[in-house]
């Protein structure tokens, strides 16, 4: 936008009164007095500054006259969210989840001081903690990743109440999609419909040879990681086999973007659990739902908030705790605790408890059966 001084004509450029405003002549003709100016002619004179002021005032009036967004929640807490779901106002719930939903299963998050994954990688002697997920480092030194993978692989883990709560909502027709940053595949272990899960950073569902691009199944990599040797899986072409998770330096799956474009405009409730919302483009997706859609954050620490200055410059973010908040809720605490409270408010606590018990027994039974069989040889 130009400055006001740039919009005003200079004294040498301004049309002179009495010239009719149609043509600017070099010879100046001064009116004898201001009363001599022809009103009809003066009305034709260009006045860009006045037009600018009028346009600005019209835009300002439009903004101030817009009705304030209607609050979709009865209260800004879990009770308000539960009521919103219970009254059948939410039938296209989207979950955005991070490492916090898997910590109770034994999977460390990335950034928690002392307990996070990045704080406990000294034994791998990395140039920096993030190198273990750097594609260039992996191609040359895959051993640290596979040592870590044997500790984290989902076969030895059990899904958490968060995973089974999402499955329960899917079975009851509330769920549209789950967008997860996690690579542990615990959504799959929990029995959630695979079409309902978008792995933003990939998963262990499949693996690929970096040399010949041959695909390997989840069962194959599971069997390989159940054995201590060899440390790194190699294809028959001698290429390194890499799980199809997104390393630093790689593009996100195209499915993440194509699904998000279709899903988020249809979302009627966004539930964000266990993520610090600092990694884009995942974090920015909280702004892709409609303005009237409630957003619930369950997390140990506040996340997703922007300063008032950032918001006035056109950026967005979660607004819980602000005076102008009309749809956002923050529940501070462990992911499982928040989900148990929400399940109780929805009348689903006993059903969730039964589902968890039943599914965990199946996992234990399967592990027992496998331990009684002879290990298969690698391909």
Residue pair 175/167 in contact (Cβ under 8 Å)? The answer is no
| Residue pointed to by tokens 């069989």 | 373
Q: What is the pLDDT of residue 6?
A: 39
Give pTM, 2 decimals: 0.76
DSSP-H helix ranges across the chain: 4-7, 39-42, 48-65, 78-86, 135-140, 143-152, 161-171, 186-189, 218-225, 254-263, 308-312, 335-345, 349-371
Give me the residue spans of the domains in the chain.
Answer: 76-104+160-201+253-379, 108-156+203-245
Q: What's phi and psi for 300, nearest 5 deg?
A: -70, -30
Q: What is the pLDDT of residue 181?
A: 94
CA 41 to chain centre: 59
Residue 62 CB-density burial (10 A; 0-12 exposed, 13-18 middle, 19+ buried): exposed
Residues paired with 229 in a beta bridge: none
- The angle that helices 78-86 and 335-345 make with each other, rounded to 10 degrees, is 50
Residue pair 119/112 in contact (Cβ under 8 Å)? The answer is yes
Q: Give the Cα separation of 192 and 170 in Å (integer).
A: 8
pLDDT tens for the chain, 379 residues long, are: 444 443 333 344 444 444 443 333 334 444 344 444 444 444 444 555 555 556 555 555 554 555 666 788 999 999 999 999 999 889 999 999 999 999 999 887 665 555 556 556 777 778 887 888 899 999 999 999 998 888 766 566 899 999 999 999 999 999 999 999 998 889 999 999 999 999 999 988 899 999 999 999 988 988 898 888 899 999 999 999 999 999 989 999 999 999 999 999 999 999 999 999 998 899 999 999 999 999 999 999 999 997 666 665 555 799 999 988 999 999 999 999 999 999 999 999 999 999 999 999 999 998 788 777 755 545 4
Residue pair 182/98 in contact (Cβ under 8 Å)? The answer is yes
| Residue pointed to by tokens 């999977």 | 107
Find, among 178, 174, 206, 171, the residue nearest to 274 by Cα: 178
CATH node for 108-156+203-245: 3.30.1600.10
Residue 129 CB-density burial (10 A; 0-12 exposed, 13-18 middle, 19+ buried): middle
Q: What is the pLDDT of residue 139?
A: 96
Residues of the binding site: 99-103, 109-111, 181-184, 209, 212, 235, 237, 275-276
Residue pair 204/118 in contact (Cβ under 8 Å)? The answer is no
What amino acid positions are annotated as catalytic residues? 201
Q: What is the pLDDT of residue 315?
A: 59
Q: What is the pLDDT of residue 162?
A: 99
Residues of the binding site for Zn(2+): 209, 212, 235, 237
**How far from 83 is each of 74, 333, 351, CA to CA, in Å?**
8, 21, 18
For residue 87, give both structure tokens: 């009254």
Q: What is the pLDDT of residue 39?
A: 47
Residues of the binding site for NAD(+): 99-103, 109-111, 181-184, 275-276
Query: Which CATH class for the 76-104+160-201+253-379 domain?
Result: alpha beta
């Amino acid at each position: 936008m130009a400055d006001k001084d740039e919009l005003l004509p200079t004294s040498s450029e301004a049309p002179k009164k009495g010239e009719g405003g149609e043509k600017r002549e070099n010879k100046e003709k001064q009116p004898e007095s201001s009363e001599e100016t022809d009103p009809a002619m003066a009305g034709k004179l260009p006045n860009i500054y006045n037009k600018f002021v009028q346009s600005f005032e019209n835009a300002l009036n439009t903004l101030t006259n817009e009705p304030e967004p209607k609050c979709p929640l009865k209260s800004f807490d879990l009770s308000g969210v539960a009521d919103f779901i219970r009254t059948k106002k939410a039938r296209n719930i989207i979950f955005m989840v991070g490492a916090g939903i898997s910590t109770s299963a034994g999977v460390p998050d990335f950034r928690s001081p002392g307990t996070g994954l990045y704080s406990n990688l000294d034994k791998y002697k990395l140039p920096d903690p993030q190198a273990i997920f750097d594609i260039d480092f992996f191609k040359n030194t895959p051993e640290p990743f596979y040592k870590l993978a044997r500790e984290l692989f989902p076969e030895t883990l059990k899904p958490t109440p968060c995973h089974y709560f999402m499955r329960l909502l899917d079975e009851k027709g509330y769920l549209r999609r789950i967008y997860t940053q996690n690579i542990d595949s615990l959504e799959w272990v929990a029995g959630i419909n695979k079409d309902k899960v978008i792995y933003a950073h990939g998963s262990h569902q499949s693996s690929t040879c970096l040399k010949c691009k041959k695909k390997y199944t989840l069962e194959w990599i599971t069997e390989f990681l159940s054995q201590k040797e060899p440390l790194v899986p190699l294809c028959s072409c001698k290429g390194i086999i890499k799980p199809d998770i997104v390393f630093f330096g790689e593009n996100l799956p195209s499915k993440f973007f194509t699904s998000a474009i279709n899903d988020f405009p249809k979302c009627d409730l966004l539930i964000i659990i266990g993520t610090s919302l600092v990694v884009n483009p995942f974090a920015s997706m909280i702004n892709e739902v409609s303005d009237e859609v409630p957003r619930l954050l369950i997390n140990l620490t506040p996340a997703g908030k922007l300063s008032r200055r950032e918001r006035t410059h056109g950026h967005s973010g979660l607004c819980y705790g602000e005076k102008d908040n009309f749809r956002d809720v923050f529940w501070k605490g462990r992911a499982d605790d928040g989900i148990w409270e929400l399940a109780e408010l929805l009348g689903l606590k006993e059903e969730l408890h039964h589902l968890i018990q039943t599914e965990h027994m199946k996992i234990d039974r399967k592990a027992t059966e496998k331990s009684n069989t002879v290990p298969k040889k690698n391909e």
